[in-house]
Amino acid sequence: RHTTIARMYNQHETLKKTAYNARVLQVEKAVFTPLVFSTTGGVGGVAERFYKRIAEKTALKTGQKYHETIGYIRKRLRFDLLKTTIIALRGNRGRPTATPNIREMDLNLIPEA
């Protein structure tokens, strides 16, 4: 049986939502957003909307351009997911690094001429 990638993302989002949503609502009094990623770098529909919403809010708050902000967030999350996977496979080596303060960070990675 062949399943399209979009349908596979939807199935995994639904499975995560049914598995965790009730507990999150009752115990933590929060909202659960299932973020689904593939090993090839693809993201599910909910994760894509999450990216866009976070980038929109961050761009407004910091005064950065939206396209630079979403590019930075996508790149940062991909590297963080890769790092987490490597740590899960190899184990943690060394001290943890401090998280940068996004309010003080310039997300424009290419200097203007």
> For 22-57, what is each residue's pLDDT tens digit?
888 888 888 888 999 888 888 999 999 999 999 999
Scored b (16 or more CB within 10 A) or e, 42-52 reads ebbebbeebbe
Mapping DSSP to helix (H, G, I), strand (E, B) and coil, where does residue 49 land? helix
Q: Does residue 12 carry a pLDDT above 80?
A: yes
What's the pLDDT at 111? 57
Cα–Cα distances (Å) from 15 to 9, 62, 67, in that order, read 10, 35, 32
- Of 44, 71, 46, 69, which is closest to residue 57 (Cα–Cα)? 69
Cα–Cα distances (Å) from 39 to 30, 42, 43, 44, 98, in that order, read 28, 7, 9, 12, 27
- Convert the pLDDT of each residue in 82-99 to its tens digit: 888 888 888 777 777 777
pLDDT grade for 110, boundaries at 50, 70 and 90: low
